[in-house]
Amino acid sequence: MSTRSLFLVLICMQLCFVVTASGDAIFSNDIVISEDTVTFVIDETYSGVDSEEFRATLDLNADRSVNSSEVNNFASIFEDSGKYRYLGYIFIDDNEVVMSIDSFDIEFIGVEGNVNTSELSVSSSIVYDLDAPLSKGDHNVWILGHPSITSMQIRLPEGALLSSYDGIESSSVYSEDNRVVIEGASGIRSFISDGRPTYEYAVSIDFKTSSFVADMSIFNNFFSTSQLL
């Protein structure tokens, strides 16, 4: 099993532990790829049974109430483990560009109080360092998906040219601040592996960087999903 496949299995197990069959959980991802860093923001919203089980996980003394001390304790543990668990979410150039976590922060909103089904939110921000800048040429970025990710926004490096992408549903492409922006929902991509059709919840993006930084705004009318897929 490849390193990426192993990470995929472990992370999907982690997500399934939190999200129950009720489906009362919504994720959104905001990813900014730069020449030598990647910033990844994950926003999670839980309600119903999912929010009740999430609070129960934080309720260490099992008194059916979550206090600030319990939240801070969970955040500290999660931030420490997050330095390892989030290394498998994004791969660049099939992991030839090595990524390390520079910082990881997590914020809980509406978590404290009684263990109940009211809505709560969790926001995680991860900044990755790349072991080498994205040089002139062709590059690929692979991003783990999930059926509960209803909104994704991915910004390519300044001046990069989008070649193709796969694994995003209801997608749109536009230019902003001289960056190509891809938006949509997490979907299933298909490809051939060892001669067999393979499917995964993941995004794959091919793009090209160059020493020449073009004004991408002139291409806004050019981009459409049908032209790229």
pLDDT of the residue at 211 = 62
pLDDT of the residue at 212 = 52
Dump strand ranges (E) for 25-159: 25-33, 37-46, 65-66, 90-92, 99-109, 113-114, 120-130, 137-144, 149-155
Sites in the chain below the pLDDT cut of 70: 1-23, 211-229
pLDDT of the residue at 58 = 94
Task: Report which DSSP code applies to 212.
Answer: S
pLDDT digits (tens, 9 = 90+) for 171-218: 999 999 999 999 999 999 998 888 999 999 999 999 999 865 444 444
Task: Report which DSSP code applies to 203.
Answer: E
pLDDT of the residue at 81 = 79
pLDDT of the residue at 152 = 98
Range of the structural domain that residue 212 is part of: 3-15+23-228
pLDDT of the residue at 20 = 43
pLDDT of the residue at 24 = 78
Q: pTM for this one?
A: 0.80
> Per the structure, how many domains does the chain have?
1
